[in-house]
Structure 1
Amino acid sequence: MPHQALTHGILFTDQYQLTMAQVYFRLGIHEQPALFEHFFRSYPDYGRHQAGYCISAGLEPFVRWMQAAQFGDAEIELLRGLRGSSGASLFADDFLRWLRRYGSFEGLTLRALPEGRVAHPLVPLTVVEGPLAQAQILETALLNHLNYQTLIATKAARIRESAGANLVMEFGLRRAQDTGANAGTRAALIGGADFSSNLGMSIALGVPPKGTHAHSMVQAVIAMGMSELDAFRAYAEVYPDDCLLLVDTIDTLGSGVPNAIRVFEELRRKGHRPRGIRLDSGDLAYLSIQAAKMLDQAGFPDTTIVLSNDLDELVIWQILTQIRAEAAQDGIDPEALIRRLVFGVGTQLITSTGAPALGGVYKLVALKYDGGWRPAIKISDTPEKIANPGHKRAWRLYDRRGRATADLLALDDEDLDAMPMITLRHPSDVAKQRSVRRDEVRIEPLHVDVVREGRVIYAWPTLEEIRETRRRDVACLDPGVRRLIHPHVYHVSLSEKLWQLKYELIARARQG
């Protein structure tokens, strides 16, 4: 079996998904309609700072994988060869025959939070409904696709928040985890990066790739007995209208910037407009100010200054703060300088440094039996880990200012419009609740129908449409929720009816 098909097809899963599916098969409940929800319990915590919201991403690549994945003859034969600790076959022939015939996701229905939307804990990113065994087997791939891209899109959104209107370029391909870099690039572009250095993925997404040169180009030229200036001239000769030079290989202010200016003057005399410089080490705020001063004095006040070197949202924030405090002392307009800056963000973004995993989970919340949905619940000694049971819908409430004020989970049969007052109950703290008048809030359903019994019924938005969704959703958050450090807690609540169901089930379970 080809390596790519083996590792990226339907066997891209954990073994326990199939062992559970065989148990369901033996119990005769493998085709019982089930309802699973995928959600995360807490925002990424980066140590020195925390997220106050997430950005949903990864849905379209996951659904495309889901559409293609199925158990064929090759997969069945590989499973047939697996053995348990006694040496007996791990999977029985009758189960494998069933898996070969029904081993795809054609029976599943999927509702989801669209990509680019702001997401909060406990509110499902996806809801999967369909035959129990198929829905169970789907878990690993779903979590793998959606958790990582949501994590990276969230990090990118925070970097975008810190960078303001400045361009942000994703430079993380060389530091990413293998081919996961492609998913990371896509998520970064959804979350707020404007461009990426990832050539193939940029082209695939319809975004122009961006990049300049590395220190090695300058080093190679010098090793041949030439100079930094010769390296810059060679680059400018090949790319006269896209000349952006990395100036810190030897001495940023002593040689790098002066040599770049000489090359820029030569380009200008030939009728070309130089693009700018890149700074990749040292005190980036101080060097930006001094480089801008030298470029301005040479008559290049509009050239770009690209900053890179382990940037994240806090480092960008500190750079901008320092420029605003110090630039005027050198005769530089701080805001004019800031408008020239471009941030190249690599490792910290593509790896979500400090919070390397989202922690999204996939929980059974209901099973259809005797014609009706029976809620399922998982009990935990940690109240925050008790899942919210039942067939539900998710809503976002907006106040009179148009600000998102709460996300509400309610049972599927609840009519919020018929309620003069809507009670919002804290999911795990029984003492916390509040009520809002229905006529004082705008209510929006959060989920859209994506797949119905295996068939995609959703029109996939373009990347730019997803980005616009993210911009709109983030703009509706209160500034406190958008804070980079110690953000305000956004309210995720249960309806009174759902809250009563949850705690009734908890009481029953604890009574045995």
Structure 2
Amino acid sequence: MSHEPLATTITNRWTATRGPLFTDMYELTMAQVYVTQGISEQRAHFDYFFRSTPDYGTHQAGFCVFAGLDPFLSWISDLEITNAHIEALAAMTAPTGTPVFGAEFLDWLATPGRFNDVEVRSIAEGRVVHPHVPIVTVTGPLAVCQLLETSLLNHFNYPTLIATKAARVVQSARGGSVLEFGMRRGPSTGVNEGIRAALIGGCVSTSNVEAAIALGKQPIGTHAHALVQAYMALGDGEIGAFRAMAATAPDECILLVDTVNTLESGVPNAITVFDELRAAGHEPVGVRLDSGDLAYLAVQVAQLLDAAGYPDVSIVLSSDLDELNIWQILTQIADDAELLGIDAISISKRLVYGVGTRLITSHGSGALNGVYKLVGIENRDGAWTPAIKLSEDPGKVPLPGRKAVWRLYDQRGAAVVDLIGLADEEPLADEVTVVHHPSHDGINQLIRRADISHIELLHDTVFGNDIDAASPPTIDELAERCRVDVDRLDIGVRRLVNPHRYHVSLTTKLYELRKTLVADAQV
């Protein structure tokens, strides 16, 4: 164990990493209550879920993509309380001078393997997920589960938000490649989590070299306007900058063509350098547009490149792109192509999108409302008791008890309902089953077993004493998992604006249990 005071470690060697005290103060306060009052070891059951999909102001997402699971499992696997952590907590005092944390709690916290006795069940990372559905469930000693809350939410909410945004952007690109360019505008080192999530959502690579190497990707980059400005100031002009770039990277040459004048200078100079590259036995990769009317310029640049004999050269678009901007660009290209009598599909296929700020910050919806709620506890007699929380907002009353989630697919193979029930239930046991809205009484629907082609149980145990650590999926495997799940959504749910609401429903047993617990709590 390290004996260096934690305060010194934080002050002098700040690394912004998640340690065992990466939590809110009130988690420690509650854990101390549980310990001193003798209920810290009662088995408890917590659910992680979100209440609504991201709302971008004028439009709302029809689904989310779950991300952050593997980093969370790595974090919990490596948790260790050191002497330095205990000393730092012991040094905290109230305004009266009394210690904030007593010896009994600190001794409990310092017990070796304190965080090992938990079980984590989860929907697989990269899967499409929906409101109210328990995505991750944590079962273990009450005080330990409580201490995991803040870090768990930190591990899941931001990555899920970014994976969702990325999946929407990739969908809007209609097969065009999307590159993640947001490192310089993201939340400090948190961009690494965002970049990982963006790749899960379908981005093909990132400009962040360190993240790309860690995730097994080739980092992507062209050059900035500064390169052209420097050569212009030195008297070599824009074409001098392009020649220098081509000489340095002859097989990876992408030229930024909008520093001076895109159509009158940038593209003609790029074509000259491309001709020189080809004469030397190399093929150019692309040009990049970072300003102006990108749809109009993409059409014009494509025509110039085609006429010069470069129909396969990519056109990279950047500059505050998001899913709606890309959708508008492609729509305008289709309209312009019809007027000009050119092939819009061939132009669209050569487009590549560098998406930065609006992706890494989830522009328009800066946080996912994911929560972590106590839904059951083992009483002193060893029996499980469901837990309930009341609210004047029906959407904030959690689903009690130990539960299972099943995804139902129709005869087309499309996912149509996520059904939440109690863990010991058998879904759709009858030919016709009544299911209920998760937050509004009186709204229900009938599901006919004959209409359902496949029922999938969504949760697996991913952490616990009896679980052998498996190699985590690669980032490409997670991205493919996301792609398959998004493709299995009805096209109306995938719609970027005003999507159809995907059905999340409760079994009658779960619905009645919550209704009874609410009524009993109100007596």
| TM-score after normalising by structure 2 | 0.95
Q: Secondary structure at the match of 2:40?
A: coil
- Alignment check: 8 A CA contact 1:113 1:125 kept: yes
CA distance in 1, matches of 2:391, 2:134: 19
Closer, same or farther: CA 103–77 of 1 in aligned 2, 3 Å: farther
What is aligned with 1:200? 210
What is aligned with 1:224? 234
Q: Secondary structure at the match of 1:416?
A: coil
- Alignment check: 8 A CA contact 1:105 1:454 kept: no
Q: Secondary structure at the match of 2:413?
A: coil
What is aligned with 2:513? 501
What is aligned with 2:482? 470
Whether 1:361 aligns to 2:371 is yes
CA distance in 2, matches of 1:329, 1:141: 54
- Alignment check: 8 A CA contact 2:36 2:104 kept: no
What is aligned with 2:3? none
CA distance in 2, matches of 1:468, 1:285: 29
What is aligned with 1:135? 145
Equivalent position to 1:242, from 244, 252, 261: 252
CA distance in 2, matches of 1:376, 1:90: 29
What is aligned with 1:187? 197
Equivalent position to 2:182, from 162, 165, 172: 172
Output one character per residue of 1:153-207: Cα deviation in whole Å (capped at 9) or x when no partner. 0000000110011111000111111001110110000001011111111111111
Closer, same or farther: CA 383–48 of 1 in aligned 2, 3 Å: same
Equivalent position to 1:424, from 429, 435, 438: 435
CA distance in 2, matches of 1:303, 1:329: 23
- Alignment check: 8 A CA contact 1:6 1:12 kept: no
- Mean Cα deviation higher: 452-461 or 378-387: 452-461
Output one character per residue of 1:93-116: Cα deviation in whole Å (capped at 9) or x when no partner. 121011101563201100001111
Equivalent position to 2:278, from 259, 262, 268: 268
CA distance in 2, matches of 1:368, 1:481: 39
CA distance in 2, matches of 1:130, 1:30: 10
Q: CA deviation at 1:219?
A: 1.0
Equivalent position to 1:291, from 297, 301, 308: 301
Output one character per residue of 1:355-390: Cα deviation in whole Å (capped at 9) or x when no partner. 111110000000011121100011000001100101
- Alignment check: 8 A CA contact 1:449 1:458 kept: no
CA distance in 1, matches of 2:41, 2:49: 24
What is aligned with 1:29? 39
CA distance in 2, matches of 1:161, 1:91: 51
Count of residues in correspondence between the two structures = 511
Q: CA deviation at 1:329?
A: 3.5
Across the aligned residues of Structure 1 and Structure 2, the Cα RMSD in angstroms comes to 1.4
What is aligned with 2:426? 415
Q: CA deviation at 1:420?
A: 3.3
CA distance in 1, matches of 2:272, 2:383: 78
What is aligned with 2:384? 373
- Alignment check: 8 A CA contact 1:106 1:455 kept: no
CA distance in 2, matches of 1:220, 1:5: 35
Q: CA deviation at 1:423?
A: 1.9
CA distance in 1, matches of 2:263, 2:468: 57
Q: CA deviation at 1:83?
A: 1.1
What is aligned with 1:94? 104
Q: CA deviation at 1:439?
A: 4.0
Q: CA deviation at 1:472?
A: 1.3
Q: Secondary structure at the match of 2:309?
A: coil
Equivalent position to 1:81, from 91, 101, 111: 91
Q: CA deviation at 1:417?
A: 5.5
- Alignment check: 8 A CA contact 1:157 1:192 kept: yes
Whether 1:47 aligns to 2:57 is yes
Report percent identity of matched pairs.
54
- Alignment check: 8 A CA contact 1:106 1:454 kept: no
Q: Secondary structure at the match of 2:111?
A: helix
What is aligned with 2:269? 259
CA distance in 1, matches of 2:438, 2:519: 15
- Mean Cα deviation higher: 465-474 or 120-129: 465-474
Equivalent position to 1:306, from 316, 341, 363: 316
| TM-score after normalising by structure 1 | 0.97
Runs in 1 of length 4+ with deviation above 6 angstroms? Answer: none
Letter in 1 for 2:376: A
CA distance in 1, matches of 2:369, 2:166: 18
Whether 1:210 aligns to 2:232 is no
Equivalent position to 2:463, from 451, 454, 462: 451
Q: CA deviation at 1:421?
A: 2.9
What is aligned with 1:69? 79
Q: CA deviation at 1:422?
A: 2.4
- Alignment check: 8 A CA contact 2:461 2:467 kept: no
CA distance in 2, matches of 1:85, 1:208: 54
Q: Secondary structure at the match of 1:8?
A: coil
- Alignment check: 8 A CA contact 1:396 1:446 kept: yes
Letter in 2 for 1:423: V
Q: CA deviation at 1:337?
A: 0.8
Closer, same or farther: CA 458–269 of 1 in aligned 2, 3 Å: closer
Letter in 2 for 1:436: I
User: 5+ unaligned residues in a row in structure 1: which ranges?
Assistant: none
Q: CA deviation at 1:152?
A: 0.3
CA distance in 1, matches of 2:372, 2:428: 30
What is aligned with 2:398? 387
Q: CA deviation at 1:225?
A: 2.5
- Alignment check: 8 A CA contact 1:449 1:457 kept: no
CA distance in 1, matches of 2:20, 2:468: 18
Closer, same or farther: CA 5–129 of 1 in aligned 2, 3 Å: farther
Q: Secondary structure at the match of 2:179?
A: strand
Q: CA deviation at 1:295?
A: 1.1
User: 5+ unaligned residues in a row in structure 2: which ranges?
Assistant: 1-5
Q: CA deviation at 1:454?
A: 8.1
Closer, same or farther: CA 135–508 of 1 in aligned 2, 3 Å: same
Q: Secondary structure at the match of 1:310?
A: coil
Equivalent position to 2:446, from 405, 423, 435: 435
CA distance in 2, matches of 1:336, 1:203: 32
Q: CA deviation at 1:428?
A: 2.1
CA distance in 2, matches of 1:378, 1:124: 16
Closer, same or farther: CA 104–282 of 1 in aligned 2, 3 Å: farther
Output one character per residue of 1:67-125: Cα deviation in whole Å (capped at 9) or x when no partner. 11121111000000011232210000121011101563201100001111000001112
Equivalent position to 1:145, from 155, 177, 184: 155
- Alignment check: 8 A CA contact 1:108 1:454 kept: no
Q: CA deviation at 1:224?
A: 1.9
